[in-house]
Amino acid sequence: MADPSLSPSNATSNEYNSATNVIHVYMEKPEEMLKPWSVNSMFSYIIVTHSVTFLFGLVGNVVVVVVMVGDKKYRNATNLFLVSLAVADLLLLLVAVPLETLQYFVVQWDADAAAVCKSAMFAMLLSAFASVLNLAAVTLER
């Protein structure tokens, strides 16, 4: 629980004013940090690009998995590797893209987010290695 003596209501006006002055030395309007679209001029383009990539990647990879798994005439070694590649891409899309987009909305991650960061990095590396190994297997199989 937070120390009640550190709350703004218990701070003297001199302490509060001195802390506010220190913040204003570095930033003219610190409240602007809560509005990422005003800090980053490319914010809307980044969010649109991430959204389009996420949607097309999700739909495309799901279609590949459904078609390859659903139709028996597509069941061969090469297509099995392509399904595995699509699943690896889905893992990357479902973990990396939302977290990458979220970083534009979060000013600073707290200490509790360490597990999320480590898990996300694990999933991204796993997906990257799986993609490379799948492409190598398709190349060698041909």
In the chain (142 residues long), the average pLDDT of successive 10-residue segments reads: 49 57 62 65 85 93 89 81 89 85 72 75 86 86 74
H-helix or E-strand containing 129?
helix 114-141
Give the residue numbers spanning the domain of 4.
1-34
Let me know whether 89 and 107 are in one domain: yes
**Closest Cα partner for 64 from 50, 78, 53?**
78
- pTM > 0.85: yes or no: no
Let me know whether 117 and 51 are in one domain: yes
Domain count, the chain: 2
Q: What is the pLDDT of residue 58?
A: 94
**Closest Cα partner for 88 from 52, 61, 120?**
61
Let me know whether 100 and 119 are in one domain: yes
CA atoms of 46 and 41, how far apart (whole Å)? 10
Q: What is the pLDDT of residue 90?
A: 92
How many alpha carbons fall within 13 Å on the CB side of residue 59?
Answer: 5
Let me know whether 75 and 87 are in one domain: yes
Let me know whether 22 and 49 are in one domain: no
Let me know whether 30 and 42 are in one domain: no
Q: What is the pLDDT of residue 2?
A: 46
